[in-house]
Amino acid sequence: MARRAGWEALLASLEQDAAGQAVASASPAAGATAAAGATAVWTEPTGLGPIPRELVGRASRLVAAQRDRLTALEAERSAVLEHLGALRAVDATREPRGAVYLDASA
């Protein structure tokens, strides 16, 4: 029973994190709040043993949700890189500005 309770707690925590990330990606304001709280480093739990058979489906759904989130993040990253490329291309076409002030006392 203790093994099952440990796995249920871990899965609940991971599901909560995944749900929070989904909300953050849907709302820019929530995303800023989630990003500020996302500084914790995840470490692999120890002492849980093998996952109980009755929790395998739940864990599989969590893995699928994480893969979907990864795909979305990769798409967002690509879009940001395209935007940065466009901004750099525009900036590269600007002519350098000359001096604004002239020192007439020299």
Average confidence (pLDDT) over 5-12: 94
Residue 76 predicted with pLDDT over 90: yes
Q: Of 9-18, 19-28, 44-53, 82-91, which range is least confident?
A: 19-28
| Contact partners, residue 24, CB within 8 Å, separation at least 6 | 30, 31, 33, 34, 35
Helix (H, G, I), strand (E, B) or coil at 20: helix
Does 103 map to a domain?
no
Q: What is the pTM for the complete model shown?
A: 0.67
Does 101 map to a domain?
no
Does 53 map to a domain?
yes
* Residue-range definition of the domain harbouring residue 8: 2-37+47-92
Average pLDDT over the chain, rounded to whole? 84
15: confidence class by pLDDT, cuts 50, 70, 90:
very high
Does 100 map to a domain?
no
Number of domains in the chain: 1
Does 99 map to a domain?
no
- Decide: 51 and 4 in contact? Cβ < 8 Å: no
Does 102 map to a domain?
no
* Euclidean distance between CA atoms 85 and 104, whole angstroms: 41
